[in-house]
């Protein structure tokens, strides 16, 4: 459910939010939550057709939208995209770095090019966006929100490339919080847990496997794109005016050490007692 259930619909009136990778998935969900609260929204991605479809959804929420194709790996392309956004919507108040790449692969068969590709999209792309947006954010005393992942601090099999990229993003975020704080620019990361309807979760096959996966989450449910959108809205709002350099985990407790093993053990004990 969009954040308008909880917050004033005009909270971000007159503000401009730019979301990289905003054409689909979690990032589009984040963009929608800002749009629902009155923000002007700019999105970029590599496919203009996908961006146009996303822009229509954002416009339906009442937002003024700028959708421009740009590859985050290309600094010059981002500079042009940000300049166009500023010309059409006004200077940027919030940057959400969400563009990312991922695929499951054992480390022993991961090619150097495959590793580099994820690093370039996730880490280099996040730096490029941060650096290219700096002058606008310094002028507005804005904020940057990075979409990270649990692999940044909890190792996952077949995700060595993503773990390295996201850990780099979180450390970069903390460094920028120190360096750019004097300009009034805040930086934070959001770590989504398992989010329903996303490409990653679609790879789980079968209801039985999915049910077992959900059972390992302490809150016993999947997250939604609006769970992440609401976290982003909070971090960009005046409610979080003194929060910078923070990694906010929004995963229902999934990545707590031992959560899945404890839950399975506790369930077995309860069943034994009931029997």
pLDDT, tens digit only, all 275 positions of the chain: 666 666 778 899 999 999 999 999 999 999 999 999 999 999 999 999 999 999 999 999 999 999 999 999 999 999 999 999 999 999 999 999 999 998 889 999 999 999 999 999 999 999 999 999 999 999 999 999 999 998 888 888 899 999 999 999 999 999 999 999 999 999 999 999 989 887 767 765 566 777 877 888 899 999 999 999 999 999 999 999 999 999 999 999 988 866 665 555 545 545 555 65
CA distance 23 to 70: 11
Which pLDDT score, from 0 to 100, does residue 22 have? 97
How do the domains of the chain map onto residue ranges?
7-210+223-254
Which pLDDT score, from 0 to 100, does residue 48 have? 96
Which pLDDT score, from 0 to 100, does residue 268 have? 54
Give the orientation angle of helix 25-36 with respect to helix 48-60, to 10 degrees: 30
Which pLDDT score, from 0 to 100, does residue 272 have? 57
Which pLDDT score, from 0 to 100, does residue 124 have? 98
Q: Please state the CATH superfamily assignment of the domain spanning residues 7-210+223-254 in this structure.
A: NAD(P)-binding Rossmann-like Domain (3.40.50.720)
Which pLDDT score, from 0 to 100, does residue 269 have? 47
Catalytic residue among 85, 166, 189, 244: 166
Q: Rounded to a whole number, what is the distance in angstroms from the first to the last CA of the chain?
A: 39
| pTM of the complete model | 0.91
CA distance 15 to 34: 9
CA distance 34 to 32: 5
By the 8 A CB rule, do 70 and 50 touch?
no
Which pLDDT score, from 0 to 100, does residue 39 have? 98
Residue 137's nearest CA partner among 174, 193, 179, 170 is: 179
Give Dmax (Cα) for the chain: 68
- Does 202 qualify as catalytic in the annotation? no
- Does 9 qualify as catalytic in the annotation? no
């Amino acid at each position: 459910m969009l954040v308008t259930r909880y917050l004033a619909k005009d909270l971000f009136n007159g503000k401009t939010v730019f979301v990289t990778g905003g054409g689909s998935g979690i990032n589009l969900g984040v963009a929608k939550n800002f749009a629902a609260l009155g923000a002007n929204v700019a999105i970029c991605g590599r496919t203009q057709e996908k961006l146009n479809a996303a822009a229509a959804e954002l416009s339906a929420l009442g937002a003024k939208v700028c959708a421009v194709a740009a590859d985050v790996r290309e600094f010059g392309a981002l500079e042009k995209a940000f300049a166009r956004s500023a010309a059409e919507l006004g200077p940027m108040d919030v940057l959400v770095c969400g563009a990312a790449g991922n695929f499951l692969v054992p480390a022993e068969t991961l090619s150097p090019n495959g590793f580099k590709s994820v690093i370039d999209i996730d880490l280099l792309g996040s730096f490029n966006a941060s650096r290219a947006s700096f002058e606008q954010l310094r002028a507005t005393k804005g904020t940057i929100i990075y979409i990270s992942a649990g692999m940044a601090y909890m190792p996952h099999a077949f995700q060595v490339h993503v773990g390295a990229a996201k850990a780099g993003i979180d450390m970069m975020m903390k460094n920028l919080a120190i360096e750019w704080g004097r300009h009034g620019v805040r930086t934070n990361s959001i770590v989504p847990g398992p989010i329903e309807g996303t490409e990653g979760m679609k790879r789980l096959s079968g209801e039985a496997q999915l049910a077992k996966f959900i059972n390992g989450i302490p809150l016993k449910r999947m997250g939604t794109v609006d769970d992440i959108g609401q976290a982003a809205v909070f971090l960009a709002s005046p409610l979080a005016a003194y929060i910078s350099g923070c990694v906010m985990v929004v995963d229902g407790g999934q990545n707590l050490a031992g959560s899945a093993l404890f839950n399975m053990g506790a369930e077995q004990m309860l069943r034994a007692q009931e029997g």
